[in-house]
Structure 1
Amino acid sequence: MEEEKKKAAFPALLLIIGLAVASFFIWLFAELAEELLENELRKFDETIIGFFNSVANSALDMFFLIITELGSVRFLTALSVLALLLLWFKAKDKWGILFFVIAVGGGSLLTLLLKNLYDRRRPSINESIDAVGYSFPSGHSMGSLLFYGFIGYFAVRSRLKKRVKVLILIILAALVVLIGTSRIYLGAHFPSDVIAGYIAGTIWLILCLLALEWAQWQSGSHVRPVQVMRRFLVSSFQSTKKRIRR
């Protein structure tokens, strides 16, 4: 019993911490959405958009046009297919495949749902940079965070050297930030749209990674956390009753 509790302690703690972090980001998103509905984000958005307009030039135009494509539906779909093929034929990671699909595919559906829920108009419409439809939250920001975030997770779980893992994470994080920045610079989104996309993406990514870790732990261990926790609570309750009777 004690051994089982020890083995179940870490995944249970990981689950609790992950859910706590996800809850915090849910609160952040709710606060941001409330500010949007009350039209209190205008000054914040206008200040940042004004800054980008002041530094705009042809070189930055070209740079951000390339960067924004790295977060487009077309590009991420192609990379997702490649990632799935590698997971299937090389890594043989069935759980990784399942939750990668849930993260990326489910994230796309969640983005569509939120966009239609908040019904915010874009700063400008430009079909050549996927700037159509509703604006809040940014699909590029959310999609890139989910995709590149999951790739970062696979890198961390790989057998690569630590410094290589750190370098990969830094590159991926910088890429996600640049993709969000490109959406503001190109006039496709308000800054608050991009922030909301990052927050929503973080929530969904955390939940998917928690589910993946839990599934992998369950399939690789004879210990069943739910059963262990139930027995632990029952034994604790019975011990408490005995102390009270004494």
Structure 2
Amino acid sequence: MIKENTKVGISLLLLGVGLGVAALFLVIFTELAEEVMENEMRRFDGSIINYFKAIDHPYLDTAMILITELGSVWFLTMLSVATVLVLGIKYKDKWGILFFLLAVGVGGLLTKMLKQLYERGRPSINPEIDAVGYSFPSGHSMGSLIFYGFIMYLVMRGNGRAAFKRLSIVFLGIVVLLIGSSRVYLGAHFPSDVLAGYIAGTIWLILCLIALEWIQWQSKSDVRPVHSIRNMLASMWNAIRKRFPANK
């Protein structure tokens, strides 16, 4: 019973931490969106945009165009198909597939909904680099963080060597940051759009991973969450009653 309660306690602690982080990021996103709508991010956006203008170069233009494609819908769709095939054929991970598709698919819908909600215009319109429609939050930034973030999770959960995991996470993290930077460099987004995309993507990714971990624990572990939580609460109540017996 003690061992079971310990497992449940640790899992609930991690669940609480995850939800707490998601809630914190939600507050940050809300504050950022309010600042954007009140046009309070001009100085922040302008300083970063001016920096990228100062380092403008034809070779860097080409590199940024290639990098921005790493977060495009068509590219992430191809990688998503490959990811689903690997999870299904090699690992037989049905829950992983379900929540991966949920994270990526619903994440895309959330991006569109947020864009329609805030209706912020872009710095410039350029269909060649997907710079069309509303600007806030950045779809490339949000989509890439969700997709590559989920891949980071799969790598961490895998059986690879620790050094490989660390290198993979660092590499994918750099890719996500470069994609966001490319959107600002190419004039497709304001920096605050990119920041908002990262924040919104983090919120949705955390919620999806929490749900995935919970369901996998419930389906694979001999410890049943609801039953175990009830037992843990009963044990705590009995301990309190013994410590503070009712007056007769």
TM-score bracket, normalised by the shorter chain, equals over 0.9
Residue in 2 aligned with 1:84? 84
Q: Which residue of 2 aligns with 1:212?
A: 212
Q: CA deviation at 1:244?
A: 5.2
**1:200 pairs with 2:223:** no
Which letter does structure 2 place at the counterpart of 1:156?
M
Cross-structure match for 2:51: 51
In the other structure, the counterpart of 1:2 is: 2
The whole-number CA distance in structure 2 between the counterparts of 1:108 and 1:67 is 19
What is the alpha-carbon distance in structure 2 between the residues aligned to residue 176 and residue 97 of structure 1? 22
- Could you list the per-position Cα deviations for residues 157-183 of structure 1 after superposition, in whole angstroms to 9, with x for gaps in the alignment? 111111111111111000000000000
CA–CA distance in structure 2, aligned partners of residues 12 and 98 of structure 1: 23
Listed as ranges, the matches of 1:9-48 within 5 Å are 9-48=9-48
Over the aligned positions, Cα root-mean-square deviation in angstroms equals: 1.3
TM-score (norm 1): 0.96
In 2, distance between residues paired with 1:9 and 1:244?
25
Contact 1:107 1:143 in 2 (8 A): yes
Unaligned 5+ residue runs, structure 2?
none
Q: TM-score, length-normalised on structure 2? A: 0.95
Residue 128 of structure 2 corresponds to 128
CA contact (8 A) 1:12 1:225 kept: no
In the TM superposition, residue 24 of structure 1 has moved relative to its aligned partner by 1.1
In the alignment, the residues of structure 1 paired with residue 140 and residue 62 of structure 2 have an alpha-carbon distance, to the nearest angstrom, of 18
Could you tell me which residue of structure 2 aligns to residue 186 of structure 1?
A: 186
* AA aligned opposite 1:126: N
Q: Following the alignment from structure 1 to structure 2, what is the Cα–Cα distance between the partners of residues 37 and 185?
A: 22
Alignment partners' CA distance in 1, 2:24 and 2:226: 24
* Percent identity over paired residues: 59
Question: Corresponding residue for 2:246?
Answer: 245
- TM-fit CA distance, 1:97: 0.2
**Which 10-residue stretch deviates more, 232-241 or 110-119?**
232-241
Q: Report how many residues are paired.
A: 246
Question: d(CA) in 2 for partners of 1:147 and 1:96?
Answer: 13
Q: Offset of 1:72 from its aligned partner?
A: 0.2
> Gaps (5+ residues) in structure 1?
none
State the Cα distance separating 1:11 from its structure 2 match. Answer: 1.6
SS in 1 for 2:203: helix
